[in-house]
Amino acid sequence: MQLARAIDDFAVHLTVERGYSPQTVRAYRSDLTGLASFAATRGVEETSGLSLEVLRDWLWDSSQHGLSKATLARRSASAKGFSAWVARQTGDDNDPAVRLRAPKADKMLPRVVNRSQIDALLARLAALAEDGDPGRVRDLAVIELLYATGIRVSELTGLDVDDVDLDRLTVRVLGKGAKERVVPFGVPAQTAVVDYLRRARPVFVTERSGPALLLGPRGARLGSRAVYGLVAGLLADIPGGGPSGPHALRHTAATHLLDGGADLRAVQELLGHASLGTTQIYTHVSTERLKESYRTAHPRA
């Protein structure tokens, strides 16, 4: 089977049978296209030519180009998933990627914005939105929803108007693997969304808007890149290391829930994590915050 054709078929499999998001499928395709390009330099253009040696050399070559351990681990996972699928398709018991190993990604605690910082940020956005500017009113609704629910940026931008129940204070979200869940939010987010629906969305709406909740200036569904730019700009002036994209607000929401006494499994359900282990990283964040408070406040720390 030609590598290029196999990658196309694998992408269809991930979309149709596994229910992966477009972003995840693009990441797989990007990794595997890179693998195919590297394999071609070794004279390999068929899936049957992929060997453990070729896969290892590809990862080694990637490391020599300065790619991070996290990227190498992702590429390894993409190759293993693809190789296993090819083996099933061809009925070949020899899967060369079974023994493929990549360096473990460095464990980094996610960035978390503290309570006073997030309160100040939201107050500033609310003040800016008072003049009724549609973009500012929408931006306040975006940030309030991200922080109130902890949903992913792709889940946020995928929301339709009917997904938000303003009476019950819940939002219906389609998460990874096309799994649906219902997430609660609070009164501040409700107020921001009601204001957006009343004062901003009617200004943006066009024939191309459809049922999309959040709209861009030309009436199309607001994209993830626009939300990333908004959040990164807002967090740029707030002290703290780590990434400044929308995921920082997801981390912040989860950590503040645990700091407030929320049950770990409840937080798992809210975030849509398949594994409790994924959620447990936020307990480490809370522990670090506790240690820092202790070191700062205790006379014998």
Query: Active-site residue among 176, 181, 221, 289?
Result: 176
pLDDT above 70 (res 30) = yes
User: Which tens digit of pLDDT belongs to each residue from 178-205?
Assistant: 778 888 888 999 999 999 999 999 999 9
Which is more confident, 53 or 94? 53
Query: Active-site residue among 80, 201, 247, 251?
Result: 247
User: Which tens digit of pLDDT belongs to each residue from 1-12?
Assistant: 888 899 999 999
Query: Active-site residue among 75, 80, 250, 256?
Result: 250
User: Which tens digit of pLDDT belongs to each residue from 94-128?
Assistant: 888 888 887 665 555 567 888 889 999 999 999 99
Give catalytic status of residue 65 as yes or no: no
Which is more confident, 263 or 281? 263
CA atoms in the 13 A half-sphere facing the CB of 216 = 14
Query: Active-site residue among 56, 75, 138, 273?
Result: 273
Which is more confident, 285 or 228? 228
* pTM given for the model: 0.63
Query: Distance between CA 16 and CA 155 in Å, rounded?
Result: 19
Please tell me the predicted confidence (pLDDT) of residue 126. 95
Give catalytic status of residue 80 as yes or no: no
Give catalytic status of residue 176 as yes or no: yes
Q: Which domains does the chain have, with CATH numbers?
A: 3-99 (1.10.150.130), 115-297 (1.10.443.10)
User: Cα angle vertex 83, ends 77, 84, to 5°?
Assistant: 90
Give catalytic status of residue 247 as yes or no: yes
User: Which tens digit of pLDDT belongs to each residue from 240-273?
Assistant: 655 668 888 888 888 888 777 777 777 777 887 7
- Kindly write down the DSSP assignment for every residue of the chain, as one continuous string: -BHHHHHHHHHHHHHHTS---HHHHHHHHHHHHHHHHHHHHTT--BGGG--HHHHHHHHHHHHHTT--HHHHHHHHHHHHHHHHHHHHHHT-S--GGGG---PPPPP-PPP---HHHHHHHHHHHHHHHTT--HHHHHHHHHHHHHHHH---HHHHHT-BGGGEETTTTEEEEE-GGG-EEEEE--HHHHHHHHHIIIIIHHHH--TT-TTBSSB-TTSSBPPHHHHHHHHHHHHTTS---S--STHHHHHHHHHHHHHTT--HHHHHHHHT-SSHHHHTHHHHHHHHHHHHHHHHH-TT-
Query: Active-site residue among 74, 152, 201, 256?
Result: 152
Averaged pLDDT of the chain: 85
Least confident stretch, 79-88, 93-102, 133-142, 189-198 = 93-102
Extract the tokens encoding 215. Answer: 């709209």
pLDDT above 80 (res 212) = yes
